[in-house]
Structure 1
Amino acid sequence: MAATPSRLPSRLRQAGKVLTSGILFTLLGVGGCLCSLVIPPVLAVLPGGREARRRRAARIIRLFFRCFVFGLEVSGILRVDVDGRPPGPEGVLILANHPSYLDIVVLIALLPDTVCVVKEAVWNSPIFGSLVRSAGFISNQGPEAVLEHCGQALEAGRNLVIFPEGGRTRAGQPPRFKRGAAHLALRTGAPILPVRIAVDPPLLAKGDRWYMVPAPTCRFGLQFGAPLLADPAPVAEHPRAARALTRLLESRFHEESHGSDAP
Structure 2
Amino acid sequence: MNTSLASPPSLPRRWLHRLYEYFALWFGLGLLGTISLTWTLFAVPLYHVLPKPWADPLGRWAATLCTRLYIGALALIGACRFDLTELDALRGQGPLIIAPNHPCLLDALMVISRLPNMACIIKADIFDNVFLGAGARLAGYIRNDAQLSMIRQAVAELRNGSHLLLFPEGTRTTRWPINACKGTTALIASRARVPIQTVFIETDSGYLGKGWPLFRRPPMPITYRIRLGRRFDPPVKAGPFTGELERYFIDELRDAPRFLQPDAPQAAESGAARPT
Establish whether TM, by shorter chain, passes 0.5: yes
Q: Could you say which residue in structure 2 is the equivalent of 1:6?
A: 10
DSSP 3-state at the match of 2:182: coil
Count matched residues: 252
2:61 to 36, 59, 62: 59
Q: Partner residue of 2:162?
A: 158
Distance 1:179 1:162 in 2: 11
Structure 2 equivalent of residue 256 of structure 1:
252
Q: What does residue range 110-129 of structure 1 map to in structure 2 within 5 Å?
A: 110-125=114-129, 128-129=132-133
Whether the 8 Å contact between 1:98 and 1:167 is mirrored in structure 2 is yes
Structure 2 gaps of 5+ residues are 1-6, 260-276
- Which deviates more, 107-116 or 207-216? 207-216
Question: Hey, what does 2:201 align to over in structure 1?
Answer: 197
Deviations 1:39-86 (A, max 9, x none): 34257667xx53223211111111111111111111222111247454
Contact kept, 8 Å, 2:37 with 2:130, in 1: the verdict is no
Aligned to 1:106: 110
Contact 1:230 1:245 (8 Å CA) reproduced? no
- Of 233, 236, 246, 1:229 maps to 233
Q: Kindly indicate whether the alpha-carbon contact (under 8 Å) linking 2:178 and 2:250 is maintained by their aligned counterparts in 1.
A: yes
What are the within-5 Å matches in structure 2 for residues 143-182 of structure 1? 143-170=147-174, 172-182=176-186
1:238 is aligned to none
Of 73, 94, 97, the residue aligned with 2:75 is 73
Q: Whole-Å Cα distance in 2 between the matches of residues 172 and 43 of structure 1?
A: 40
Name the CA distance, whole Å, in 2 between partners of 1:174 and 1:68: 27
TM-score, normalising length from structure 1? 0.86
Identical aligned pairs, as a percentage?
25
2:238 and 2:145 mapped to 1: Cα distance? Answer: 21
Letter in 1 for 2:90: P
Which amino acid letter does the alignment assign opposite residue 220 of structure 1? Y
**Cα drift, residue 101 of structure 1:** 1.2
- The alpha carbon displacement at 1:123 in A equals 1.8
Task: After superposition, give the CA deviation of every residue in 1:204-231 in whole Å (9 maximum; x if it has no partner).
Answer: 2211134434334211011111311124
Offset, 1:163: 1.2
- The TM-score with structure 2 as length reference comes to 0.82
CA distance in structure 2 between the partners assigned to 1:218 and 1:120 by the alignment: 29
Out of 220-229 and 124-133, give the one that drifted further.
124-133
Secondary structure, aligned partner of 2:179? coil
| Per-residue Cα deviation, 1:184-206 (whole angstroms, up to 9, x for no partner) | 11111111110111110332221
SS at match of 1:219: strand
| Offset at residue 27 of structure 1 (A) | 2.5
* Cα distance in 1, alignment partners of residues 191 and 70 from structure 2: 35
Q: Secondary structure at the match of 1:80?
A: strand
From the superposition, tell whether residues 261 and 44 of structure 1 become closer, same or farther in structure 2 (CA, over 3 Å). same
Aligned partner letter, 1:146: M
Distance 2:125 2:63 in 1: 18
SS in 2 for 1:212: coil
Q: CA deviation at 1:4?
A: 8.7
Partners of 1:171 and 1:119 in 2: CA distance: 20
Shift of 1:92: 1.0
Deviations 1:95-142 (A, max 9, x none): 111111111111111222112112222224455323211111111121
Matched, 1:247 2:243: yes
Name the CA shift for 1:5/1:87 in 2 (closer, same or farther; >3 Å).
closer
State the distance in 2 between where 1:224 and 1:185 align: 18
| Equivalent residue, structure 2, for 1:88 | 91
Query: Kindly tell me: are residues 149 and 131 of structure 1, through their superposed partners in 2, closer, same or farther at Cα, counting changes over 3 Å?
Result: same
Report the Cα distance in structure 2 between the residues aligned to 1:118 and 1:174, rounded to whole angstroms.
19
Cα 1:20–1:191 change in 2 (3 A) is same
